Structure 1
Amino acid sequence: FFGKDIEDLDTRLTDQALYGITDNEEDPHTEYMSAQEVKDFVQSINRDFVGIGVEFVSDNGVSIVQKVFRGTPADKAGVKAGDIFSKVDGKDVEGMTSDALKELVVGEEGTKVTIEFLRQGQPVTLTITRGKVSATAYGYVMDDGTGYLLLYQFGEGTPDEVSNYMDDFEEKGVKKLIIDLRGNGGGYLDSLEKIAGRFLKAGTVIMKQEYRDGSVEETKAGGNRQIDVDGIVILVDEYTASASEVLTMALKEQRDDVTVIGTKTYGKGTVQITRMFSDDSAIKYTTSKWLSPSGVWVNGTGIEPDITVNVHKVIKTAWAEMKDEDEFHPDSVSDAVANAQLALDYLDYTIDRTDGYFSKATSETLKLFQKDHNLEETGILDSVTFKALYSAVVMDYNTTTKHDVQLHKALEVLNG
């Protein structure tokens, strides 16, 4: 009866049936995806879009360029990390949400957008031609000459992106390299093969796939030109999974100059393939398990780093909600106070405790933060101060490496 009110009922019923057929406790990675879910899944891996090629972070209505991806329209036009969006096509964007700003910046391929940035307080106006952007990798040469390569995913365009950064590193004489796989959930096997070929000789085994009949197939590094470096550190965390774990194990086992730093990885040791249907929906199902070159299976256990380094607790802690009228005073206890104490500690203020008890010492430290951020120096945790603390942590973590203890440890290891 109610089907008469449902648009495209046949598709919905088919989707629901296939969701049920593929749902099982034994294999969480086998699943049915609707046409829209397939589209979203592919986009999440390829990270491709039409735009200018920057990553930015917004705080209190101020949007700052965090990264400029190499070879993109923004890179060619001269946009730099640290530039602040001021106007887009003459429209003032101060106070605008990140989504609203994104809508102004992206557009059809080949069209132009004129953006005024503030660079060290001075306006810089650039006209940029929008183009196709693949943003799965990012890299730069650090002040000490170490190459830093961040891989978001192993997408279709990732090998070319990596090659662009590797070529730049070679031109600049980079001999030490950090590969950042934190938060990288994997991607396509063929991309992994090509990328591995930049760090391993062609034909070197990077993984083995074992099928249900017991047969084993070796996957080998592609024939790309290797970068000549003397030491590599791989950064990992609990979200490093699948293809990222394959690359980590391959480099660790097949080179003698690799150190893994961070926290234990996710532990996804199975391989899936995707079979498309005529309506653009698909089933992604497991065909094999993957093993490291020496036969290690990380499924469910993950990779233990050579050196365990935990990020500050505030980065992994969920923040409490505070209503506009909420206030916390000394001698009270709350999750919000615990968040504030962790934030103050992260931002290098002296704090006596982080358990959520609002001590007198916490109040005095809060006054210092309020003073530094031009807030009323009450020593009370109100919603304005709470939001300012959260924003300060987010901006610091996303725009500086000052408190990236895992990255600092990587540099320490590489530089002896």
Structure 2
Amino acid sequence: MHFTARKGCSMERAWAIIGKITQWVAVIAVAFLGGWITGRIVGVSPIDVFITGVSNADARLLTPGDRRQQFAVFWDVWDLVEGNFYQPEAIDRQRMVYGAIRGMLGTLDDPYTFFQEPEEARQNRESMEGRFEGIGAYLRVENGQIIIDRPIRNSPAEQAGLQPGDIIVAVDDQPLAELIAGLSDSDASARAVSLIRGPAGTVVRLTIRRPADDRVFTVAITRAAIPLITVNSALLPDGIAYIQITEFKASTTELLDQAIAELRPQQPRAIVLDLRNNSGGFLTTAQEVLGRFYDGIALYEEERGGVNKELRTIAAPADRRLYGIPMVVLVNGGSASAAEVVAGALRDERPNTTLLGEKTFGKGSVQNIYTLRDGSSVRITIARWITPEGEAINGVGITPEHVVPASNEAEYAAPCVPDRPAEDSCADAQLYWALKLLREGIAPPAATATVTAP
């Protein structure tokens, strides 16, 4: 979410959720980059603010005369192509326009300022509303193949037996490789999603190749409405509340309030807030989440022209607050954007709060996302953000006070929440040390906390 880009590997990964958003609410919000889009209305165009990339150099606005002069050469080339290219049937004017837009944005040397064609933009706009109709699986694009990254829990995809790493060979007997040939990863992902998703109650046939045993099989999956659960919680032994937030979607605050309503009567004495692999989401949601844990500054934005803007937490009802009690926030390299805002703000502003885990991703700039007249969108970096204590994290990330590498060695037994709640324990070094710190005041050994310089 969020595109958003799920963020930090050597190959370009295109992430998408298979599904069709149920239009149950019109979301008007400010958002952080996690690969997902929504909007607030400015004139007639939705605008979205996401956390990402770098830089917002000042520039002189062109007058109408300047624009005509600047674009004269562009139209000269356009006319030459129209009049002289030897295969006129190959001329696709829409692709030429979109290609020109991409080329223009590419000159800014900012990977977070980019253009999306209508179908991909629509999928991104829809994905943050939190309820889908489809099979319920996350996809990635790898080496020209569409791969199941993971099925959503209790989704039709999971119930049909789809597994992480499964390769989608065909959709309704249409070979997928042919349908996405020559497309970029993001366009291939958008194409696959448009083929696989559909209304609840309809059926899609997927031909799957499973690399683990090189087996090819076809499965018919009935699509369904799939709420995306972004908050998981439990009361662990010794009165420690565990809260995991996986993304900051429009529905996340309501889900967090439900979790707090269940936890508060049990009078937790400490909190583990798990933001690992949380790739971001809405800024307003991040501010609302922070408002459940303290009242104060959430972040500062440094805008074009050197203007600084203070953004505060959004207050929660008194019965939906967990103020004051000790907290450990778990983070890692998959914690990005809005997750970094929340982690940095809790560290800087909330008493008795400690970060533990691994250095975060480091997305520290802000974008506006403008929906254009044909449904396409352009994402433009307009500012950077810093933590309440003035730390700029873009490209650097946040290093927790207690650096603990991920480990599943048996010595780090901890309650299995939320992935395997039926089991008594599992290995999770970061959760193990968070609980040990809260229960016994024992921090991880210094040797564990070796930090590699960025």
- For Structure 1 versus Structure 2, the TM-score category normalised by the shorter chain is 0.5 to 0.7
Counterpart Cα distance in 2 of 1:33 and 1:406: 38
Residue type of the alignment partner of 2:105: T
Aligned to 2:279: 185
Aligned to 2:429: 405
Aligned to 1:215: 307
Tell me if the contact between 1:263 and 1:309 (Cα under 8 Å) persists in the aligned partners.
yes
Tell me if the contact between 1:262 and 1:307 (Cα under 8 Å) persists in the aligned partners.
yes
**Tell me, what secondary structure is at the counterpart of 2:393?**
coil
> Offset at 1:308?
0.5
Cα deviation per residue 1:230-272 (whole Å; 9 max; x = unaligned)? 1111111112111111111111111111110111111111111
Residue type of the alignment partner of 1:12: R
C-alpha spacing 1:96/1:298, structure 2 compared with 1 (3 Å): closer
**Tell me, what secondary structure is at the counterpart of 1:288?**
strand
2:118 aligned to 32, 35, 39, which one?
35
Tell me if the contact between 1:53 and 1:133 (Cα under 8 Å) persists in the aligned partners.
no
C-alpha spacing 1:110/1:215, structure 2 compared with 1 (3 Å): same
Give the TM-score normalised by the residue count of structure 2.
0.55
Tell me if the contact between 2:281 and 2:338 (Cα under 8 Å) persists in the aligned partners.
yes
**Tell me, what secondary structure is at the counterpart of 1:415?**
helix
Residue type of the alignment partner of 1:4: E
Q: How does 1:324-363 map to 2 (within 5 A)?
A: none
1:173 matched to 2:267? The reply is yes
Tell me if the contact between 1:198 and 1:227 (Cα under 8 Å) persists in the aligned partners.
yes
Aligned to 1:290: 385
C-alpha spacing 1:175/1:410, structure 2 compared with 1 (3 Å): same
C-alpha spacing 1:143/1:397, structure 2 compared with 1 (3 Å): closer
> Offset at 1:131?
4.1
1:276 matched to 2:359? The reply is no
Residue type of the alignment partner of 2:234: Y
Residue type of the alignment partner of 1:22: L
2:99 aligned to 16, 27, 43, which one?
16
User: Percent identity among equivalent residues?
Assistant: 26
Aligned to 2:254: 160
Tell me if the contact between 2:136 and 2:151 (Cα under 8 Å) persists in the aligned partners.
no
Tell me if the contact between 1:174 and 1:229 (Cα under 8 Å) persists in the aligned partners.
no
1:48 aligned to 127, 131, 141, which one?
131
C-alpha spacing 1:398/1:162, structure 2 compared with 1 (3 Å): closer
Counterpart Cα distance in 2 of 1:250 and 1:30: 26
Query: What 5-or-longer segments of structure 2 have no aligned partner?
Result: 1-85, 139-149, 172-196, 203-222, 441-454
Aligned to 2:343: 248
Counterpart Cα distance in 1 of 2:297 and 2:112: 25
Give the TM-score normalised by the residue count of structure 1.
0.60
Tell me if the contact between 2:280 and 2:339 (Cα under 8 Å) persists in the aligned partners.
yes
C-alpha spacing 1:303/1:4, structure 2 compared with 1 (3 Å): same
Aligned to 1:206: 298
**Tell me, what secondary structure is at the counterpart of 2:426?**
coil
Aligned to 2:239: 145
Counterpart Cα distance in 2 of 1:266 and 1:44: 22
Moved more, 242-251 or 168-177: 168-177
> Offset at 1:99?
8.9
Query: What 5-or-longer segments of structure 1 have no aligned partner?
Result: 56-63, 69-73, 75-83, 112-128, 313-345, 350-394
C-alpha spacing 1:11/1:159, structure 2 compared with 1 (3 Å): farther
Counterpart Cα distance in 2 of 1:21 and 1:207: 31
Tell me if the contact between 2:253 and 2:288 (Cα under 8 Å) persists in the aligned partners.
yes
Tell me if the contact between 1:152 and 1:181 (Cα under 8 Å) persists in the aligned partners.
yes
> Offset at 1:227?
2.0
Residue type of the alignment partner of 1:235: L
Counterpart Cα distance in 2 of 1:347 and 1:268: 31
> Offset at 1:199?
0.9
Q: Which has the higher contact order (CA 8 A, sep 6+)?
A: 2
User: How many residues are matched?
Assistant: 290
> Offset at 1:172?
2.9
Tell me if the contact between 2:151 and 2:164 (Cα under 8 Å) persists in the aligned partners.
no
Tell me if the contact between 2:130 and 2:250 (Cα under 8 Å) persists in the aligned partners.
no
**Tell me, what secondary structure is at the counterpart of 2:119?**
helix
Counterpart Cα distance in 2 of 1:141 and 1:230: 14
Aligned to 1:232: 327
